[in-house]
Amino acid sequence: MIILKHAMLVVSSLYLVAFIIAAPVVNGQDISLVPGESCITSSCHADKAKKEFIHTIAANGLTCIICHQAPDLEQHRFKMLAEGGELCAQCHGVKANKEFKHMPVAVGLCTFCHDPHQADYPKQLKFPPTGELCFNCHDKKTFSGAVTHGPVAEGLCLECHDPHTSDHDFQLKAALPDLCFGCHDRNLKDPGGRILPSPKQTFDNKELTQHLPFAIGQCMICHIPHAGPNYRLLRSAYPESFYTSYSQDKYICLTCHNGKAFNDARTMTETAFRNGNLNLHYRHVNREKGRTCRACHHHHGAENPKLIRAYVPFGSRAITIQNFEKTETGGQCGPTCHPLVRYDRYEPVQNALKVTSREGLDATPEALQQAKEQQMKAP
Dump pLDDT digits (tens) for 41-76. 878 888 888 999 999 988 888 888 889 887 776 777
What's this model's pTM, rounded to 2 decimal places? 0.83
DSSP 236: S
* Same domain, yes or no: 229 and 295: no
From first to last of its 379 residues, the chain has per-residue pLDDT tens of 334 434 444 444 444 444 444 445 444 444 466 666 788 887 888 888 899 999 998 888 888 888 988 777 677 778 899 998 999 999 999 999 999 999 999 999 999 999 999 999 999 999 999 999 999 999 999 999 999 999 999 999 999 999 999 999 999 999 999 999 999 999 999 888 888 999 999 999 999 999 999 999 999 999 999 999 999 999 999 999 999 999 999 999 999 999 999 999 999 999 999 999 999 999 999 999 999 999 999 999 999 999 999 988 888 888 898 899 999 999 999 888 888 999 999 999 999 888 888 899 999 999 999 999 988 887 7
pLDDT number for residue 329: 96
Residue 109 resides in a domain: no
pLDDT number for residue 180: 97
* pLDDT, tens only, 116-173: 999 999 999 999 999 999 999 999 999 999 999 999 999 999 999 999 999 999 999 9
Q: Please, which contacts does 35-38 make with residues 24 or more away whose CB atoms are closer than 8 Å?
A: 38/62
* Same domain, yes or no: 364 and 260: yes
Residue 151 resides in a domain: yes
pLDDT number for residue 36: 63
What are the residues facing 72 on neighbouring strands? Answer: 77
* Residue span of the structural domain in which 42 resides: 2-92
DSSP 22: H
* Same domain, yes or no: 373 and 249: yes
* Same domain, yes or no: 215 and 288: no
Residue that finishes a domain, picked among 202, 233, 264 = 233
* Same domain, yes or no: 156 and 209: yes
Residue 101 resides in a domain: no
CB contact at 8 A, 368 and 277: yes
* Same domain, yes or no: 42 and 153: no
According to DSSP H, which parts of the chain are helical? 2-22, 84-92, 103-106, 131-134, 150-153, 178-181, 199-204, 212-215, 280-285, 365-377
Residue 118 resides in a domain: no
Amino acid symbol at 226:
H
Q: Alpha-carbon distance 126 to 136, whole Å?
A: 10
User: For the chain, how many structural domains are there in total?
Assistant: 3
Residue 106 resides in a domain: no
Q: Alpha-carbon distance 81 to 74, whole Å?
A: 19
Amino acid symbol at 97:
N
* Same domain, yes or no: 195 and 229: yes
Residue 103 resides in a domain: no
CB contact at 8 A, 80 and 148: no
* Same domain, yes or no: 137 and 200: yes
Q: Alpha-carbon distance 71 to 77, whole Å?
A: 7
* Same domain, yes or no: 251 and 330: yes
* Same domain, yes or no: 154 and 208: yes
Residue 238 resides in a domain: no
pLDDT number for residue 73: 67
Q: Alpha-carbon distance 18 to 23, whole Å?
A: 9
Quick one: the chain helix, strand, coil %, rounded to 5?
A: 30, 20, 45
Q: Alpha-carbon distance 213 to 195, whole Å?
A: 23
CB contact at 8 A, 78 and 69: yes
pLDDT number for residue 12: 42
What are the residues facing 223 on neighbouring strands? Answer: 234
* Same domain, yes or no: 249 and 372: yes
